[in-house]
Amino acid sequence: MLRKLLRYRFLLEELIKRDFKKKYKRTILGVGWSMLMPLFTLLVMKVVFAQFFGRNMAHYTTYLFCGNLLYCWFSEATNSGMLSLYANAAIFTKVNVPKYLFLFSGCVQTLINFALTLLVFLLFCWLDDVPFSWRFLLLAYPVATLLVFNVGIGLILSALFIFFRDIDYLWRVFLQLLMYGSAIFYTVDGFPAKMKFAFACNPVYRHIDYFREIVLSGAVPSLETHLTLAGFALAALLGGIFMYKHYNTTFLYYV
The pLDDT assigned to 136 comes to: 94
The pLDDT assigned to 85 comes to: 86
Write down the domain spans for the chain.
Answer: 33-253
Report the b/e string of 52-69 with b at 16+ CB within 10 A. Answer: ebbeeeebbbbbbbbbbb
DSSP letters, 52-75, are HHSTT-TTHHHHHHHHHHHHHHHH
Distance from C-alpha of 204 to C-alpha of 182, rounded to nearest angstrom: 7
The pLDDT assigned to 1 comes to: 59
Contact 71, 182 (CB under 8 A): yes
Distance from C-alpha of 76 to C-alpha of 56, rounded to nearest angstrom: 32
Give, in order, the Cα–Cα distances in Å from 183 to each of 4, 82, 116, 179. 39, 25, 23, 8
Give the residue ranges of the chain where pLDDT is below 70: 1-6, 8, 10, 12, 20-21, 23-37, 41-42, 45-56
Distance from C-alpha of 12 to C-alpha of 106, rounded to nearest angstrom: 10
Give, in order, the Cα–Cα distances in Å from 143 to each of 125, 181, 188, 217. 17, 20, 22, 18
Provide the 8-state DSSP code for 252.
G
pTM of the predicted model as reported, rounded to 2 decimal places: 0.88
The pLDDT assigned to 53 comes to: 66
Give, in order, the Cα–Cα distances in Å from 238 to each of 4, 153, 194, 232, 241. 18, 10, 28, 10, 5
